[in-house]
Amino acid sequence: MARVAIVTGGTRGIGEAISLALQEAGVTVAATYAGNDEKAKAFSDRTGIAAFKWDVGDFAATEAGVKAVEDAIGPVDIVVNNAGITRDGTLLKMTWEMWDEVIRTNLGGCFNLAKATFPGMRTRKWGRIVNIGSINGQAGQYGQVNYAAAKSGIHGFTKALAQEGARFGVTVNAIAPGYIDTDMVAAVPADVLEKIVAKIPVGRLGQASEIARGVTFLCSEEGGFVTGSTLSINGGQHMY
C-alpha cells in the first residue's frame, strides 16, 4: 500500500515540485493551499494530486484538514512542511502583525502539522517529517528578522522533534534551500537578482526539482538512518 504524504503549500513553486517528486516515487500525495482556488484546481486537474484548502497557521483548521486527508486517502505517513510567507521590512518599519503572520505560518505551521500527525506515525512505528527551512534562517538576512527567526526556529524544532521520534521509526529532518528559481525570486528586480547570483559559487539559481530530490530521499525507506539533520541546498552560498 502506498505511503500517504501531506505537502503544505504543495500546489505551487517548490511545493509543487515536491508533490510531483513524491508522486513519481509512488507516494499518494495531498497538497495543501491557502487561497488561490483556481490555481489549486488547475494543479489537481493537471497532476491528479488532491488539493486541500486550509490555513496551516490555524491549529483547529489543521486538525480538521488532516482528518479530511486521512478520511479521503488514509493515515498520513509523510509530512513536508513547506508552506511559507514573507512580510519583509526592517525592524524599525516592521509591525507586530508582520512579525506574527510570518511566525504563525512558517513556524507555527510546522508545529500544527506535526502535532496532528506525529502521534499516528509513532504508533505505526514509521514516519517522515521534512521541514523546509532557509539559507536566511542559517545566515540571517537584512530586512527579514521575522522570516529569519521563523526559519531558524524550524531548524531547532527539527533537531528536538527528531530526538522524540527516532526510536519509533519517525525521522525528522530539514532542508535549507538557497535562492531557487521560483515566482517569488523572479519578482526580485533584475539588478538585485544579478548581485544575488554573483554570490552563489556555482553561478546560478537553484531549481525547485533539486530541492524536491532532497526531500524525496529523506522521505524514503533508504533515508531511515538520517534524522535531526539539515540538508543545505544552496549552491555553496553558505557553508558551515
Give the active site residue among 33, 142, 147, 240: 147
Q: Which string of DSSP letters, residue by residue, matches the chain?
A: ---EEEETTTTSHHHHHHHHHHHHTT-EEEEEESS-HHHHHHHHHHH--EEEE--TT-HHHHHHHHHHHHHHT----EEEE-------B-TTT--HHHHHHHIIIIIHHHHHHHHHHHHHHHHHT-EEEEEE--HHHHH--TTBHHHHHHHHHHHHHHHHHHHHHGGGTEEEEEEEE-SB-SHHHHTS-HHHHHHHHHTSTTSS-B-HHHHHHHHHHHTSGGGTT--S-EEEESTTSS--
Active site residue 240: no
Catalytically annotated residues: 147
